[in-house]
Chains A and B, each alone.
Chain A
């Protein structure tokens, strides 16, 4: 009966599609826009970096200050990504699988770093831990340096990348509901068993997706880190800050060489994201299929 109906109605592609010319113009516009604002700058980074050949490019990257910046960036990511991974999973699990008071407040708080300018995020830590800040004198007394040092950079990075994992997981876990967890509970599984054997496997691709985004932001963060770093070469410079310094010194080849590292990270992130998106969609789809009636 359905086939009959579809032959009677006009083929939908004719009614829903614009004329060829308009389609070409619109697609062309979109592509031109994309090329101008994304592709050309990306290519420009590599062109500028390799302008004087491979040797200067390589020197700029293995130079001690650049290596220190790379190391610091990796340290910041190494702290913030695992911490936010644990926090994000815990928050998403609490929000989606349990009922409790103050849930709405928690969701709003998780979003806070997204809604605040990164510069403000950095400033908060200066106000808290700086010499003139609330805890500054106490910290100074105990010889702990937070601001213009590695701990401040790590803290600022954690703050800025706080929402990524949780934000990615909450909708996914909400769509999955709690029936499977209840089933596991009745079957005798403990809380940890339920989490590791039922909840986590169901959202694992979403977790990886969140981690990738979180990592990209952690390594690329400029504003917040810039405020707390103090820009001490070889000590408190992360990759983005190092690029800025080199650029301000008119050392374009070195600036772009270091920038190309970040660009490579971006490309890797995009590819990983595209691959994972497919998997996440598949996870969501398998839920709807399971509940649907044949």
Chain B
């Protein structure tokens, strides 16, 4: 089921959580709402579920007006951040809950119910845990039970609020991949909230970047990463170095670098740490002399922190492992850096 969100506004007292949001979630896609805390992403999710009522705007499910539709009638599955499992029920009863509260006519019989729950237990790979209570499960297991419970009623939309937020890094990785696989199997339209850009980029078909109650950019992970629409998105998706760009008049800021086409003296150049080249000797006139002040060799991409000798500004760089080994950088060494892939954004026409 596709979701069309039009002009949704939601305020809590003086605080605006959602400011005229427009968004289209195509049927069958896995969409991530990505943003810092307080950006309104969870509120948007709750508005879609019907747990919050918007002050203005409309929500359509497959083109059908659903703004005022009661939560119960929306047919959504919701996975809460802290799982919200019923703590006095076993795993089996938790998963069965949605089926047992159906009106008498639609309620499945005992056999049917057992079949469906067993099927779901198998799906979440917890076949042997049916009689456990939530308190007896690990965080990752609880998360999966919460997911199975949401899926039991065959919702047309699955909504997940920070689904991996409270888990440790390793379990998180596994569950992420598992969720992606699951989605590829059952194809239910899914929206999940996260503040972790890596998570959003890895799992989602489409990423919605939110900031301060507004949508900043919508696109595939690649589009978002390769063509960020504005400085906020660029910044939020990873570390960034800022440089002044050179203009044509010769009255440049100190330490300005050559910008891309169309840059002027007031343009700010954005460069990712992985786009900073480091060399032992200057190769072009644009190379900037710098001193290595910190080397972090651990991690996938070794991180180097440098201080520009001309402006004393700190620049962060990331090197591929082999190059890092070849260079063998040490703190205090003098090297040359060369920013590549410099990006500038049109300044906003706002004061």
Contacts and interface: CB of A to CB of B under 8 A. Distances in A.
A179 B142 CA distance: 15
Nearest to A291: B82
11 contacts: A183-B84, A185-B51, A186-B50, A186-B71, A186-B72, A188-B102, A188-B153, A189-B72, A189-B97, A293-B167, A294-B168
Question: What's the interface size class on A, roughly?
Answer: 20 to 34
Contacts of B139: 293-294
A290 B85 contact: yes
Contacts of A290: 82-83, 85, 87, 134-135, 142
B80 interface: yes
Interface string A177-190: 00110111111111
Interface stretch (A49-57, A193-201, A219-227): A193-201
Contact of B87 (A186, A189, A197, A287): A287
A20 interface: no
A187 B87 contact: no
Most B Cβ at <10 Å: residue of A289, A290, A291: A290
A95 B279 CA distance: 66
Contact of A185 (B71, B138, B142, B153): B71
* Interface residues of chain B: helix, strand, loop or mixed (majority): loop
A184 B135 contact: no
B101 A190 contact: yes
B336 interface: no
Given A186-B78, A190-B101, A202-B87, 13 more contacts: A182-B78, A184-B86, A185-B71, A186-B50, A186-B51, A187-B153, A188-B72, A188-B101, A197-B97, A198-B86, A201-B88, A290-B85, A290-B134
A197 B150 CA distance: 17
B121 interface: no
Contacts of A180: 84-87
A175 interface: no
B88 A202 contact: yes
A181 B252 CA distance: 61
A180 B89 CA distance: 12
B88 A185 contact: no
A286 interface: yes
B260 interface: no
Which 6 residue pairs of A and B lie closest in terms of their CB atoms, listed nearest first? A187-B98, A179-B84, A183-B84, A189-B101, A186-B78, A201-B88
A180 B168 CA distance: 23
A188 B98 contact: yes
Contacts, number: 76
Interface in B115-146: 134-135, 138-139, 142
A1 to B, nearest CB: 17
Contacts of A184: 86, 97, 101
Nearest to B100: A197
Contacts of A183: 78, 80, 84-86, 149
A289 B86 contact: no
B136 to A, nearest CB: 10
Interface of A: 179-180, 182-190, 193, 197-198, 201-202, 286-287, 289-291, 293-294
Nearest to B152: A187
A187 B149 contact: yes
Contacts of A201: 88
B49 interface: yes
Given A290-B134, A290-B135, A294-B138, A187 B97 contact: yes
A184 B72 CA distance: 9
Contacts of B142: 290
A291 B168 CA distance: 14
A201 B126 CA distance: 25
Interface string B50-80: 1100000000000000000001100011101
B166 interface: yes
Interface string B81-111: 0111111100000000110011000000000
A197 B135 contact: no
A124 B85 CA distance: 47
B110 to A, nearest CB: 17
A193 B101 contact: yes
Contacts of B135: 286, 289-290
A272 to B, nearest CB: 21
Most A Cβ at <10 Å: residue of B72, B78, B83: B72
Given A186-B78, A291-B82, A294-B138, A286 B87 contact: yes
Nearest to B133: A286
A287 B147 CA distance: 19
A289 B49 CA distance: 27
A278 to B, nearest CB: 16
A182 B101 contact: no
A179 B149 contact: no
A190 B139 CA distance: 29
Contacts of B153: 187-188
Nearest to B76: A186
B68 to A, nearest CB: 16
Contacts of A287: 87
A182 B166 contact: no
Contacts of A286: 87, 135
Contacts of A186: 49-51, 71-72, 76-78, 150
Contacts of A182: 51, 78, 80, 84
Contacts of B51: 182, 185-186
A286 B142 CA distance: 14
